Amino acid sequence: MAQQYLPYITLQPDYPLVFADVSQSLVELDKVWISAYCSNVPAGSRHGKLLLSASKDARGGVSVELDDENNAGLNVERADESLMDLVVSTPGGSRTSYEASETLPNFELAPTRLRVARRTLGPDLVKGALGVTALDVHEGRYVVGGSDGQAFTSSLVEGEESEPMELDGSSNIEEVAAQRMRLRQRSAKVALKGHVGDVRSAKFLAGGQVVLTTSSDMTARLYDASSGACPRVFKGHRRAVVCSSIIDRGHNVLTGSLDGTVRLWDVSSEGAAIQTITAEKFAGVNAMARDEGGSIYMGLTSGTMQVVRDGQTAEVIPGQAGGITALDMNGVNIITGTSDGDMRLYDARNLPTPVKSWKRNGASVTDIKLAHDAAIVSTDDGMPYRVRLNGDLAVTDEYVGWEVDHVDKVSLDQKGRVWIAGAQGAIRLYH
């Protein structure tokens, strides 16, 4: 299938802060920019201004409209059941993708939702320019990793308990103090100590009581998520360990490394790996997934996807330019992304030809999560998005709020909500 280009939309990152200023009557009105692009229509990019003004009759006390003098041929509406989310399109816009070979004077935008984070953890959950480099969410808890071995788990305190009670004339000081103590206890961080290099991945095992981490220090570690104790350290890789996969309920785990190997470990033993799989031409293993039948799909720095069955290479899928940087699998769907922003969707039953191929721009793909008939994709230019995979390819959601900063990790919780982490040591929740 011919590669498709998908349009993308950017919104001034501090839009939520501007909205809050107007809502709280700190300013009467303000403007934020909005732009839309399609990479094979460079002359047709659209740039407009949104006018935010105080209005008692509008949701949240704020009216959001396009500035008549700077509308760029866009339609912008408030999304239903949301205070700040927007739906952006062009008049009559229905087309969602364009063949890479096409050269057009302009492009259409089908209705696309710009989702504002409902909650932000951080900034500075971890210190350093890399921000959050590892993330997983499981049943009310999360684990993050960062540079120089930083890693911890904590609870996702939500609902009424997530906000400290304020002391006022109607409050009992003992009740307020008790609530604040409960909040501190529930949100306390459990440090996962031991790594001396950047933490590259973190995953909860089934049940959420144990965490597996991998690191640039060439090791993988198992931790007790509640105490931070580390009963197992897996040693043997000769370069950074950047990815992992949990087998069944976690009796065995796989780790992938830039040394060109995937290693199988028995979590009940701290001995050597029980199996080592070598990557094609010793390319580094950047990402991997395992299907229910035990086949392993390895995304390599050479751009090749290698399929291993019963410990032996079964298929080698021709390389993508730039190298595979992210890979995920759900059922028979396999999706890969590269450092050049190329995306491919495969059917595991009909390899090696991709079912679909697309690109937005040249930004490196940093993570992918498949969710039913869609994929959530994070990129190092701070423009994560959701793409519909059934039927015509279409970007249905843009996750806004990142200041053209790298976004490294995506996680989906049991409610289907999207957690995205990256620059400034922050995690943002979208739903």
pLDDT at 170 over 50: no
b/e per residue, 145-169, with b = 16+ CB within 10 A? bbbbbbbbbbbbbeeeeeeebeeee
Convert the pLDDT of each residue in 384-417 to its tens digit. 999 999 999 999 999 999 977 889 999 999 899 9
Residue closest to 39 by CA, chosen among 359, 311, 347, 288: 359
Convert the pLDDT of each residue in 265-285 to its tens digit. 999 988 889 999 999 999 999
The mean pLDDT of the chain is 91
pLDDT at 167 over 80: no
Can you tell me the mean pLDDT for 156-160? 60
Q: Is 227 helix (H, G, I), strand (E, B) or coil?
A: coil
Q: In whole angstroms, what is the distance from residue 172 CA to residue 218 CA?
A: 53
**E strand or H helix at 14:** none
b/e per residue, 310-335, with b = 16+ CB within 10 A? eeeeeebbebbebbbbbbbbeeebbb
pLDDT at 181: 57
pLDDT at 86 over 70: yes
Q: In whole angstroms, what is the distance from residue 294 CA to residue 278 CA?
A: 17
Cβ-based burial of 302 (10 A; exposed 0-12, middle 13-18, buried ≥19): buried
CA 40 distance to own-chain centroid: 25
> For 248-350, where are the E strands, in sequence order?
252-257, 261-266, 275-278, 285-290, 296-300, 305-309, 312-317, 324-330, 333-338, 343-347
Q: Is 345 helix (H, G, I), strand (E, B) or coil?
A: strand
b/e per residue, 27-40, with b = 16+ CB within 10 A? eeebebebebbbbb
pLDDT at 160: 40
Convert the pLDDT of each residue in 282-338 to its tens digit. 999 999 999 999 999 999 999 999 999 999 999 999 877 889 999 999 999 999 999
Q: In whole angstroms, what is the distance from residue 147 CA to residue 367 CA?
A: 18
Q: Go through the domains of the chain in sequence order and give each one's CATH number.
A: 4-115 (no CATH), 119-430 (2.130.10.10)
| 430 vs 169, higher pLDDT | 430
Calculate what percentage of the chain has a pLDDT beyond 90. Answer: 77
Q: Is 257 helix (H, G, I), strand (E, B) or coil?
A: strand
Residue closest to 164 by CA, chosen among 152, 148, 176, 172: 176
184: confidence class by pLDDT, cuts 50, 70, 90: low
Q: In whole angstroms, what is the distance from residue 122 CA to residue 184 CA?
A: 15
**E strand or H helix at 178:** helix 173-186
Can you tell me the mean pLDDT for 204-230? 96
**E strand or H helix at 19:** helix 15-23
First to last CA, the chain: 32
